[in-house]
């Protein structure tokens, strides 16, 4: 197999183009929440229906599109795929902005999900191909800062827009950002990275099997028994069918030989496990310290301390990995996150005993968690992708992204089980905290298998 063509960058302009593109998906994942009540009023729809179709459908579509998008990127070239993702994202944002009915918003969100699925794995694949191995932790750390910052900014920006204008402006603001990313792309970023996978037929059957398996896996965490068990079993059967099907395809949508590379498996596990804890904590903290009621609003804002610190520390984590190695840096990050989560356990007991808990007391452990996340993000992804040959960078990046989302789904499912017995069940919620601490500790163990290769 011939090596792919590479570019000599990224130039600052190319790096900025990639950064703006990767910010769009996390920004739109978090800022849309504040617009749901206004959408329900305008379209005279039930809030639960709006949430299911605008939020849940977007999440499922994003997960399902990841792996096919990675395969497309390896075939078309990473620069061209990034451009395609931007145009799809703009088409979706335009549809939602001008929507005469809720269905146009839903179609727009699905197009945005498809565009985001093309952009995120492709951007990471570009960094893997064009950045020298010794500088990849820093580059991925910087992108982690961009994504974390965008996710943290989303609710505040969404609230500001809703307070001063229509919910449609939430979608409208994406258009100048997408155009800016497209305009910043240098010509060599668009044409310089190609692979030979396009010589083989696209794996439509594998894409359908994997997408269906992922949909059923997600639904199994949202449904009640026995339907959830049936969905999980059906998803497992489809996944097993995919494993068999890949043996007869020259260019499968998911090449399972990726998982023969120990650093790739280790880096992917770090990302999945830490996202399992992070996304669950974003939801759990307001419930844990204020019962989820009106007084929980100040603790909803406190969770931003975690994402903000993650954004600040991600570039630092990359630089530390270049000096001390990915294995050491990510292990320290995992242990730091473990300590931060464990510090929430006694605070939760104090809160349930009637002791007044200040926002600062809750913010400090979350800051520690954010430090752990920031130290781990860039080095773990750089090490995972560096273990894979350049021609499969899109597929590998898409696999990591899929596992990131699945980790978040598992984490929120664990939290859902804890909350299903009643939001005031301290024992159940503390057990969930111990699960999240264990996830961080396991990520520290997985980090011992990291290395930078090729």
pLDDT digits (tens, 9 = 90+) for 178-214: 999 999 887 665 444 555 555 678 889 999 999 999 9
pLDDT tier, 290 (very low <50, low <70, confident <90, very high otherwise): low
* Residue 184 C-alpha from the chain's centroid: 24
- For 416-428, what is the HEC assignment? HHHHHCCCCCHHH
pLDDT confidence tier of residue 239, bands split at 50, 70 and 90 = very high
Residues 430, 207: Cα–Cα separation, whole Å: 39
Give the distance, in angstroms, between the CA of residue 444 and the centroid of all CA atoms in the same chain: 20
What is the residue-averaged pLDDT of the chain?
84
Max mean pLDDT among 37-46, 71-80, 186-195, 315-324 falls in 315-324
Give residue 272's pLDDT: 94
- CA 187 to chain centroid, in Å, comes to 28
| pLDDT tens string 154-167 | 877 888 888 888 88
Q: What is the mean pLDDT of residues 447-453?
A: 77
Range 219-231 average pLDDT:
84
**Pairwise CA distance, residues 5 & 55, whole Å:** 38
CA distance 141 to 336: 17
Q: What is the pLDDT of residue 10?
A: 61
Res. 298: pLDDT tops 70: no
Question: How much is the pTM?
Answer: 0.85
According to the model, what pLDDT value does residue 400 have?
92
Among the listed residues 376, 333, 400, 426, the one whose alpha carbon sits nearest the alpha carbon of residue 141? 376
Whether residue 9 has pLDDT greater than 70: no
Instruction: Tell me which of 347 and 441 has the higher pLDDT.
Output: 441
Average pLDDT over residues 114-128: 88
Lowest-confidence pick of 304-318, 381-395, 418-432 = 418-432
What average pLDDT does range 229-256 have in this prediction? Answer: 91
- Asked if residue 145 lies in contact with residue 315, where contact means CB atoms within 8 angstroms, the answer is yes
226 falls in which pLDDT band (50, 70, 90)? confident
Among 396, 380, 384, which residue's Cα sits nearest to residue 453?
384
Q: What percentage of the chain reaches a pLDDT higher than 90? A: 36
Higher pLDDT pick, 37 / 365:
365
Q: Average pLDDT, stretch 220-247?
A: 89
| pLDDT value for 375 | 94
Q: How many CA atoms, within 13 angstroms, populate the side-chain half-sphere of residue 370? A: 24
Question: pLDDT at position 126, please?
Answer: 85
The band of 53, judged by pLDDT with boundaries at 50, 70 and 90, is confident
Query: Mutual orientation of helices 102-130 and 12-31 as an angle, nearest 10°?
Result: 150
Looking at residue 221, its pLDDT comes to 81
Q: Name which of 11-15, 309-313, 407-411 the model is least confident about.
A: 11-15
What proportion of the chain, given as a percentage, has pLDDT over 70?
91
Rounded Cα distance between 390 and 128, Å, is: 7
């Amino acid at each position: 197999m011939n090596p792919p063509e590479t570019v000599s960058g990224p130039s600052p302009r190319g790096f900025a183009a990639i950064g703006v593109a990767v910010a769009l998906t996390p920004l739109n994942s978090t800022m849309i929440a504040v617009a749901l009540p206004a959408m329900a009023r305008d379209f005279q729809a039930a809030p639960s229906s709006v949430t299911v179709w605008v939020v849940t459908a977007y999440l499922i579509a994003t997960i399902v599109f990841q792996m096919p998008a990675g395969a497309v990127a390896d075939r078309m070239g990473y620069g061209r795929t990034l451009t395609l993702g931007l145009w799809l994202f703009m088409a979706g944002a335009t549809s939602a902005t001008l929507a005469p009915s809720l269905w146009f918003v839903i179609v727009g969100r699905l197009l945005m999900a498809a565009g985001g699925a093309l952009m995120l794995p492709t951007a990471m694949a570009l960094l893997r191909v064009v950045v020298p191995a010794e500088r990849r932790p820093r580059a991925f750390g910087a992108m982690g800062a961009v994504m974390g910052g965008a996710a943290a900014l989303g609710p505040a920006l969404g609230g500001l827009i809703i307070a001063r204008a229509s919910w449609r402006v939430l979608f409208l603001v994406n258009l100048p950002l997408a155009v800016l990313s497209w305009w910043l792309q240098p010509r060599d970023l668009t044409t310089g990275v190609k692979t030979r996978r396009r010589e083989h037929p696209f794996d439509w059957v594998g894409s359908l099997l994997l997408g269906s398996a992922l949909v059923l896996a997600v639904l199994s965490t949202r449904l009640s028994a026995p339907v959830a068990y049936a969905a999980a079993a059906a998803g497992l059967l489809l996944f097993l069918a995919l494993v068999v099907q890949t043996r007869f395809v020259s260019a499968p949508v998911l090449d399972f030989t990726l998982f023969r590379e120990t650093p790739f498996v280790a880096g992917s596990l770090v990302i999945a496990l830490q996202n399992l804890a992070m996304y669950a904590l974003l939801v759990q903290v307001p419930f844990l310290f204020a019962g989820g009621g009106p007084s929980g609003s100040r603790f909803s804002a406190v969770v931003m301390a975690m994402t903000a610190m993650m954004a600040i520390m991600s570039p630092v984590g990359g630089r530390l990995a270049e000096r001390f190695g990915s294995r050491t840096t990510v292990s320290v990050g995992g242990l730091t996150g473990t300590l931060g989560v464990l510090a929430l356990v006694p605070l939760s007991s104090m809160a349930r005993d009637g002791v007044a808990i200040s926002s600062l007391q809750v913010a400090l452990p979350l800051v520690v968690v954010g430090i752990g996340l920031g130290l781990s993000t860039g080095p773990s992804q750089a090490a995972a992708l560096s273990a894979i040959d350049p021609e499969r960078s899109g597929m590998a990046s898409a696999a990591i992204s899929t596992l990131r989302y699945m980790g978040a789904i598992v984490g929120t499912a664990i939290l859902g089980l804890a909350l299903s017995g009643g939001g005031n069940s301290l024992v159940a919620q503390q057990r969930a905290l111990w699960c999240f601490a264990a996830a961080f500790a396991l990520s520290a163990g997985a980090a011992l298998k990291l290395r930078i290769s090729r």
